[in-house]
Each structure stands twice: as structure tokens, then as C-alpha cells.
Structure 1
Amino acid sequence: MNVLEVEIKQAGYTEKKEAINNINFSIKRGEMAGLIGPNGAGKSTIIKAILGLLPEIAGKVQFVGQNRNFAYIPEQPVLYEELTLWEHLELAAAVYGIERNIFLDKGEKLLNIFRLQEVKHHFPATFSKGMQQKVMIVIGLIIEPEIYIIDEPFVGLDPRAIMEFLRFLNEERIRGAGILISTHQLDIAERICDTIILIADGQLVAQGKLDEIRRECHLPGASLFDCFNFILEKQS
């Protein structure tokens, strides 16, 4: 069963209406898909299109799960200066109607795991980029949505935080959540993603399981990095 269906003929900004073209893919329950591409390829534009943030779009994006709810974890954390870390979590719990006892238990657990317990009553606006990213991750995990949309989540995270985050994403996948993750960390994407969506010059140039992409590239046993370079060189 799909939880997200994307069919974009073209989309972009007022000054560039066709930043992306012919982007078609879907995310199933329990599937983790890696959105891969070089800088400027259109990955962030695709995410904005999915979130309904583009002024120009022809096509459709549908959240088709039972509850049609999602969590967005951006590359640049978006936080309220006047709210403490704990108040951010309480706000998310209130918006999504999470029961108080469930929220308290999971909130405390996540803060301990991501080593944020000591600053729970501090203002995240004063945190480092890595700590702010952890706050966004914790908020997303508390929500337990049907689909996660994640943009470059590993920037600024220390190795332990990356390990814990990946562990939680795997648990969420087992729970049945769909996950779309945009990242430049090809080694991580190769290890954790069920499918790969490769974008170049605003277009979808390859998608499928890594073995399928290897066959398309005629590179049996190649790494995602090697396939990535092969496809980009072929496009140029």
C-alpha cells in the first residue's frame, strides 16, 4: 500500500517555472527511499513540491495513507525562539493529539537517547546546529507519522546521534511508516534504503532497488557511488 504518490509534470519558482520535470514515484508502507543527486539537481525543489510550498506546479502529490499525516525534518532546523525544547515537544504533541502519558514516556526516552535531557528547559535557538537538528528529529519521532520526509538529516550530527537516528528510522519502517530521505551520504543511503531515486538536472534519471540500478548501468556488484557517477557522466 502506498503512503505517498508523486506525479509532477513540472514545477518550480516564479522565475523558473520548470526547475523539475517528469518526477514520478511512490513510497510504500515500510519502505525507505533515498532521494539522491548532485547539488542543484532539484532534490529540495521536489521536497518543497511534496510539501505544497512551490508557487508553480503542474501535477499532483497525494498522501494516501490511512491518516495522511507526515513529519518533515528539514536540513535547516526551524524552531521558535520563545519556546524551550520541552515546549516544542508539547506543542507537537498537542497539534497531533498525542495522549499525555504516551507523550511523556516517549519524550523523556528520546531526550535521553539523543542526550538532550539536561537542556530540555533551554531555548533551542541558542543550541549548536547539531543539537538543533536533534530537536527536529525528536519532534518527528514523537509524532509517529505515516511518512517521514527528511532533507539532509546527518549534517552536524555526531556519529552516535546518526547511529541512534538510523536505529529509530528502522523501527519506524518496521512499524509501517514510509520514509523519503534526501542525502549526499551515499554510503549510508546504500546501507539503509530499499529503493533509490536519482535526480539530475531537475529530472528523474534512475530509480529502483540498487541491484536494478546496477543492471541498468551494467555494473554488477558496484557501489551506489559508482552507479551514481556512471549515470551522471552518461547524462553530461
Structure 2
Amino acid sequence: MRQQEKLQAVLNFTAAAKLRAFESDLDTEVRYDPTRRRVHVPATIFSPSSRTNESFFALQLPRVATRLYRAMVQMLTEEEPYGEQLQDLVAGLTENSARALGFLLGCIERNMPHGLATKTQEKIRAKAVLEQAVAVHLAFRAFREMLHVKRIWNLDYRLPGLPDVSSDQLFFIYFALDNCHSEDAVRHGRLTPAAVDELRVSAPLKYLAEFSDAFQCGWQPACRIAY
């Protein structure tokens, strides 16, 4: 009995060690692990510097919410069979939804920027662009909800040093600053810093009508991800 207890303790320690190896609180990204079907949210992405009941807190969402939603989208669009815990969650993913997803991926592939277009990586990069675009879209909606001064008093939130920059523009500026020149993406994706900027910032923003409206670009996305 004592040997079995020791063996179980060793097995539990090994499993916990493997879990900790993936789930590091020093990480700067929210990661989805398909082997465990877990989304790990590291403590380092949160900042205690601003109160949650202040409008300024909403400017944390381009960083925090985009990371979280991207991992959630990866979980829902994975090609492996869903585990039992996800069956109810994806029950609404009908044939029409799957067809629409395939259409979006094909549209993004056809419109892939020259610097990202490759014969072997286009599908993977199109999926990465779509995941980032959906994540930013959802984060922007959350940003609008959390911007209390605009939602309650219908006043636009402006920073004292940037009076001509609207709150919507601030969201996308914060998002771009947070994602440009990601060393992690350069290292793991074998991409140049310029290509990473395109993959994580420029390409996803091209599919967001909210971005075009915020900066009055006057164009509509070639592939609309939301209506």
C-alpha cells in the first residue's frame, strides 16, 4: 500500500511538472494547448495599475482581451475532434457556419499580402490572420462596453496629451503597439519583424470595418468577418 502511495505521488508530481512547464505565469501570451484542451491565462498579462471601474481600464483590453479571445478562437476552430466538454459549446456550429468559415479562410488566402504568401504556409497564416481579426473584433466590442464614460454619458474618452485621438482610435493604436515586433512570433514563426507586423497587425485590421470607420479610411473589408 505504501509503495502504491509513493508511486501515485511520483506520477502526480510528474503530471504537475509537465503542466507547469506549459502554464508559466511568466509568459506574456494566453495560450491554448490542444493536447490538454486548456487555455492558460498567465498572471503577467494583468496590470493592477488602473481600477476596473475607471474608463482608463478599458485601454487594457486591446492587450488582455485580444490575447484571451485569440486563444478561445483557436480552441473553437481546431481541426481535431472536440472533447466532451466542448460538445455543448460548439453545438451551434452548423454546416452553414463551417461553410462560412471555409469561405473566410479562402478569401483571406486569396488576399494574403505578398510578404506572407507562400505555397506551404498560406493556410496556416490565413488561419492566424482570421483568429487575430476575430479576437480584435471581440475585444473592440468589449472595449466599447467597458468604456463607461461613453456608454453612460455618451462622451468620448480622450487622453489629456492626445485630444485629437478618439477612443476608438486609441484602441487600435494600443493594439498595434502591443503586437508590433513580437520577438516570440519572430522566433517561433521564422518570420522577419516586418512580416510579423503584417501577420499580427496590418493583415487582421484590413478585415475590420471598425478600424476603417475609426480612422475614416473609406474602404470596406474584402472579407467581412462580422456583421
Which structure's residues are more often strand, by fraction?
1
Which structure's residues are more often helix, by fraction?
2
Q: TM-score of the superposition, structure 2-length normalised?
A: 0.28
Relative contact order, higher structure (CA 8 A, sep 6+):
1
